[in-house]
Amino acid sequence: MAKAEELKKEIELLSPESLDEVNNFVSILLSRKKRISLEEKRNIIESLCGSWADDKSIDIIFKEIELQRHTYSGRKVDFDVPA
């Protein structure tokens, strides 16, 4: 049974007073949802860009990529196999 179906069955068993409490809680949660302006989105993106610039652990990852890039000769191609 899907979680939504389980939740629906539980809600159906609630008393009217409890339903009012649930409804109020959901309304509060929905009202807290804040729309982010385009400028705020840009600021968030700019703050995340380059966030690894001071992370020394990333150097190890890039060194390994660089090493493998130069040692991998690619897949074997057999030109004698019919297409």
**Pair of tokens at residue 32:** 């807290």
Instruction: Using 70 as the pLDDT threshold, list the residues of the chain that sit under it.
Output: 1, 29, 32-33, 50-53, 83
Residue 55: what pLDDT? 73
Residue 23: what pLDDT? 76
**Pair of tokens at residue 52:** 């690894």
Residue 25: what pLDDT? 74
Contact 7, 14 (CB under 8 A): no
Residue 83: what pLDDT? 67
Q: If residue 33 lies in a helix (H) or strand (E), which one and from where to where?
A: none
Residue 74 Ramachandran class (φ > 0 left, ψ -120 to 50 alpha, else beta): left
pTM for the model stands at 0.29
